[in-house]
Structures are given as structure tokens and as C-alpha cells.
Amino acid sequence: MIEVENLKKYFSSGMLRKRYVKAVDDVSFHIEKGETLGLVGESGCGKTTIGKAILKLIKPTSGRVIFDGVDLLKLKKKKLRRLRPRMQMIFQDPDSSLDPRMKIGDSIAEPLKLQGDINKGEIKGKILELVETVGLNPEHVNRYPYQLSGGQNQRVVLARILALNPDFIIADEPTSSLDVSVQAQILNMMNDLKREIHLTLLFISHDLEVVRCMSDRIAVMYQGKIVEIGKTEDIFDYAKHPYTNTLISPTSIGDRVILDRDMKNASDYTLGCVFYQRCPFAVERCSKKEPEMIEIGKKHYVLCDRVT
């Protein structure tokens, strides 16, 4: 369904002495139809940038993104626009992704109107249908976003997206600002929808437990690179990359391996492994040679030289 090949996004700063931040550095993966890929990593590791680059909301530096056989990055604006309804993104903060001056109903109607051929009566019916799908009450339609809670607003965002009948959704930390019980409601709903309408999903989060509930496969990201990718069970039971291990160490939070050394800016790296400075198993060669992705099991890849 989605194939990402050698995707790069560098942000440059400075006029004369240009410096680059490698937000996404040579990332490749694919997502099959109906599959959910979880993308985990710390804040600032480039998760959101990947999401935006795939949808071409920001222009990648290089690489290819193939959606249903079409290379999105080579596509002209008009054609891309025609494809857009099929791929959608849910953003982190529900309160700021809705227009505060638009009633919920109008917000949901907007994508429907853009699709063209549809009359007012149909729109009204469709809105009510969508509102029900995402578990809101019809009376919410006439309210404004500030009158709803964060969880309810996230449902509205979801309704807006479902209005377009997308095939592919990128969910960028959709529950990070919500309480556990509300989070459980939203995640369950997304899981149901996935089954019902056969959605393909890229689920971005920093919470490994959440990703575990949602994904068929998981990609772990560190400093712009995917350091490990594999089936959910494999990542949890046979994680090989030292960074993945610090994330999932199953004991309580307090006993978790704590990464002491703070990371440097992504721009300071030139050679060697991205995780070198914080890695408890680093040896000298890690600082000199960039590791390569190796396959260590079925569909299970690791970016580390010391794994054999």
C-alpha cells in the first residue's frame, strides 16, 4: 500500500555556515494494505516529520514515497490533490486541529462539501451518521470545540477524516494528551474501525504500550533513523537493538535503564552509529562506521553492528 524508500528530510539553518539537522535520515519501510505499523521514539526523533513527509505536507529532501503504485513526490499538485482524500492525518493536539469558530457539525461538513456532488439533506444525514460512528451525540453537532473535552474533540477529528473514506491514515500521537480511560475508548474505537473498513494505519506514539495494542508491526526510531523494525511480538520478546531494550525493559519505570548522557544535536553527528554516545554496549568501531540494517529474523531488521 505504502512504500517509503530512502526518505530524507534535512532542515538547514544559518546563512553562510549552513548546518543541517537530519530530522529523517535515509528511512525505508513499507506498510501493507490493512496493516498497522507503529512508529515509536522519543520526542524530537523525527516521528512527526516522517508522517508529514509521507503526505508531502512538507517537502522531503530526497527519497521516494509510493502510495498504491504512484510516486507521490513526483506528482503534480493537481493530481496530488485528487489523491489527498485517500490519505489523512490525525494530529497530536485535538483542540488546535479544529477551527475554534466553527461548530462541530460545520467542521465535519467541510470535507463532505469539498467532495462536490452532494446536497444539503445528504450532508446532514451523513454528519449524523459520522457523529454516531465515532460515539458522539447528535446534540454535539451544534456545539463549539471549546465546549467539548479533549477526547470528544479527538472523536470529531476522526469523524472529519472518516467523512473522506480514506484508505490510509497517519495517526500522530492521537491520545497523548488524554486520560487513560479516554485513551482506552479512543484506541478501541480506532481498532474497531480498522477492522470494519479495512484501514491501513501508521500509528505514531512515544508510548510503547499503546503502540503494542494497536500495531501489527513496530518500527523504533532514534535520531532520524529506524533502528529496529519487526513484528510486534518480535519487538517485545526478541528486541535486539540496545535502544529498543531501554524502551521496553518490562520492569517498573523506576528500574528502567536510564540513559544518562543527554543526546547532542542531531546535526553534530558525522560518522558512526547514531546511538553511539548513549549506548551501554558501544565499542570503538561503533563511533567510526555507520551500521547497516541486518535481517535477524522473519521481517525483523536491526540497525546495529554488534548484533549477531
Q: How far is the CB of 273 from another protein (least distance, A)?
A: 18
Q: How far is the CB of 121 from another protein (least distance, A)?
A: 31
Q: How far is the CB of 224 from another protein (least distance, A)?
A: 16
- Site residues (CB under 8 A) for another protein? 42-44, 149-151, 176-177, 179-185, 187-188, 206-210, 212-213, 246-247, 252-254, 256, 258-259, 262
Closer residue to another protein, CB minimum distance, 253 or 308: 253
Q: How far is the CB of 276 from another protein (least distance, A)?
A: 16
Closer residue to another protein, CB minimum distance, 2 or 21: 21
Q: Torsion-angle region of residue 274: left (phi > 0), alpha (psi -120 to 50) or beta? A: alpha
70 grid coordinates: 504512484
Closer residue to another protein, CB minimum distance, 71 or 209: 209
Q: How far is the CB of 190 from another protein (least distance, A)?
A: 11
Cα–Cα dist 10/53, whole Å: 11
Q: How far is the CB of 306 from another protein (least distance, A)?
A: 21
Which residues, including other chains, have CB under 8 Å from residue 121's CB and lie 6 or more apart?
Answer: none
Closer residue to another protein, CB minimum distance, 102 or 263: 263
Cα–Cα dist 268/190, whole Å: 39
Q: Where are the beta strands (DSSP E) in 135-224?
A: 168-172, 200-205, 217-222
Closer residue to another protein, CB minimum distance, 56 or 278: 278
Cα–Cα dist 98/13, whole Å: 31
Residue in 163, 162, 143 with CA at minimum distance from that of residue 153: 143
Closer residue to another protein, CB minimum distance, 252 or 270: 252
Task: Determine which helix (DSSP H) or strand (DSSP E) holds 114, and give its type and residue range.
Answer: helix 104-114
Which residue in this structure is represented by grid cell 477526547? 151
For 246-256, give one letter per residue: b (16+ CB within 10 A) or e. bbbeeeeeeee
